[in-house]
A and B are shown apart, each in its own frame.
Chain A
Amino acid sequence: MNAQLVLEDVAVQFGGVKAVRGISTAIGVGEFVGLIGPNGAGKTTLIKIVTGLVRPDRGRIFLEGQDVTGLGTPDRVRRGLALSHQIVRPFREMTALENVALAAGMALTANPWRALFHIRRREQYERAALILAKVGLAGTERKLAGNLPLGQLKRLELARALAVEPRIVFLDEPLAGLNHAEAAKQAETISEINASGVTVVLVEHNLEEVMRICRRLIVLNDGAILVDAEPGEAIANPAVQDAYVGGGAMSHAEA
């Protein structure tokens, strides 16, 4: 396995609460990993550490062999990493097309000086329109992001993550708040992204879709890795069954 992302004993605590306690793992190029676990297990915190939104208290993060622990989010994004937030954060006063085009023009915004000497946006708009169509948002180009319903904003968030042409994406609950049909369609889009060679790490509560599309599951509990295995095996593990109170979620997933 060609390790694309390596975590070495990463830990962080907020106040007295140990949100993530010493996680080490490696994710290879092209993998499709589901990151699951009960509420408060540390999934979102772990994603935030990897994407640079939260600084770990200890441990190191390597992206394609380079230590990125000290880098901020923009620098990590420029090294091939992308993320979509659990709570959507579109630029509400921009159109859907502008939201995605800004990401597509990342090469031009590396620093303010470079950005000042570029005007033309046509190429980025064209690419953005293609990406919007790919996530099922054709027709929303000219609408202000602030006026789009949640289901579309979830897809816009995904489109923006894709527009930076990442080699590894972290998606924090991209299906949450979507109805059954929307969720299945969004999951399909994510599968296609992975099939095109992009490594995907998915945090998701919708276990049905997770079981269907992921090829590896990392189960977190209480800030540590409980099980790291192929999906069927991970779900069958008694420790995982125990971690989910009552196991109701599990039986739903197996159905």
Chain B
Amino acid sequence: MTSYTVSLICAVGINVILAVSLNLITGLCGQISLGHAAFFGCGAYAAALVMVATSSMPLALMAGMLAASALGIAVGFASLRVRKGFLAVTTIGVNFLFVGIVRKQEWLGGEMGVSGIPPTGLGHLGDMTLIVVIALATVLFSLYVTRSWMGFAFKAVGEDEQAATTVGIGPAGYKLAAFGLGTALAGVAGALYTFFTQFISVDSFDFTLSVMLLAMVVIGGIGSTWGAVAAAAGLTLLPEAIRFVNDYRLLVFGTVLILVIRLAPGGIAELARGAFARGRTS
């Protein structure tokens, strides 16, 4: 396997984890987040610091997960106070604050980022396998949550919080759970990214990435795990396959996003279901 293929598979795996974890918050529980890159970055920085200090991959993975979910739960508390539209604005703010603050921290490498992160010792193929295994586990976990009573309650909270209260569901606890789980997974993705690149800088976690991740969730079909997987893989590989897309990445994604919202609001998931239904009847 060429190192180019390995790096592509790693990028797809990490984006799948990010899109599926954002789908948990936005798709399943209805809480719009436009700051997912901040949690990704939080996990990456925490893992990088622990890697530099201890060279322990499992410790770094744990640190990434815990740091991101701690920040996620804090932002989740904000979501209890603000109405839906404002949550989008709040999370954008979180993303800008994260980038702005990290950029000025000397102990985090400032503009230069963190370099010289020790390797995991698994080799490139080993790192790739780790990423693929964790991405698969994330997908399975998301499918499980969707089918569980937690997913059932998420759906209720996402649709109508007041109606949810009348069937005994406290929206606050579920929103915090969604943010806690979704951002923990983003933190794991951050740690994996750190292992793979061995160098991180704050520009990799800016608002543009958050928008792209939300675009993946919407294009995949809000709430659909497989849709998020398909969109994450497609939107990661497309710029590699077509040079034009790479040059005008945001333009192309924006266009696809608008087309999906206009023509197929249910995204890839809806199109797939439609094709499946037609296949069965014909």
Contact flag A91-B160 (CB < 8 Å), given A83-B166, A102-B167, A116-B148: yes
**Cβ proximity bits A87-131 to B, threshold 8 Å, 1 near / 0 not:** 001111110001000110110111111111111010000000000
Secondary structure of the B side of the interface? helix
Residues of B within 8 A of A160 (CB): 166-167
Q: Are A119 and B159 in contact (CB under 8 A)?
A: no
Q: Can you sample 12 A-B contacts with CB below 8 Å?
A: A77-B168, A78-B168, A102-B167, A103-B168, A109-B153, A111-B170, A112-B150, A112-B153, A114-B149, A115-B148, A116-B177, A160-B167
Residues of B within 8 A of A163 (CB): 167
Q: Are A102 and B166 in contact (CB under 8 A)?
A: no
Residues of B within 8 A of A118 (CB): 148-149
Q: Are A90 and B163 in contact (CB under 8 A)?
A: yes
Contact of A74 among B145, B169, B176, B177 (CB under 8 A): B169
Contact flag A74-B165 (CB < 8 Å), given A91-B160, A116-B145: yes
| Residue ranges of B at the interface with A (Cβ–Cβ < 8 Å) | 144-145, 147-150, 152-153, 155-156, 159-160, 162-163, 165-170, 173-174, 176-177
Q: Are A121 and B152 in contact (CB under 8 A)?
A: yes
Q: Are A91 and B155 in contact (CB under 8 A)?
A: yes
The reply on A85 being an interface residue by CB < 8 A is yes
Contact of B168 among A74, A91, A92 (CB under 8 A): A74
Residues of B within 8 A of A92 (CB): 159
Residues of A within 8 A of B152 (CB): 98, 102, 105, 109, 115, 121
Q: A106: shortest Cβ distance to chain B, in Å?
A: 4
Contact flag A116-B162 (CB < 8 Å), given A106-B167, A160-B167: no
Contact of B155 among A74, A93, A103, A114 (CB under 8 A): A93
Residues of B within 8 A of A109 (CB): 149, 152-153, 167-169
The reply on A175 being an interface residue by CB < 8 A is no
Q: A89-B162, A89-B166, A160-B166 are in contact. List 8 more A-B contacts (CB 8 A).
A: A53-B165, A73-B165, A102-B167, A103-B167, A103-B168, A109-B149, A109-B169, A111-B170
Interface set, chain A 14-67, CB cutoff 8 A to B: 51-53
Residues of A within 8 A of B150 (CB): 112, 115-116
Contact of B148 among A51, A102, A117 (CB under 8 A): A117
Residues of B within 8 A of A110 (CB): 168
Among residues of A, the one whose C-beta sits closest to the C-beta of B177 is: A112
Q: Are A77 and B165 in contact (CB under 8 A)?
A: yes
CA distance A174 to B169 in the complex (A): 22
CA distance A11 to B170 in the complex (A): 25
Interface centre among A92, A109, A113, A160 (most CB of B within 10 A): A109
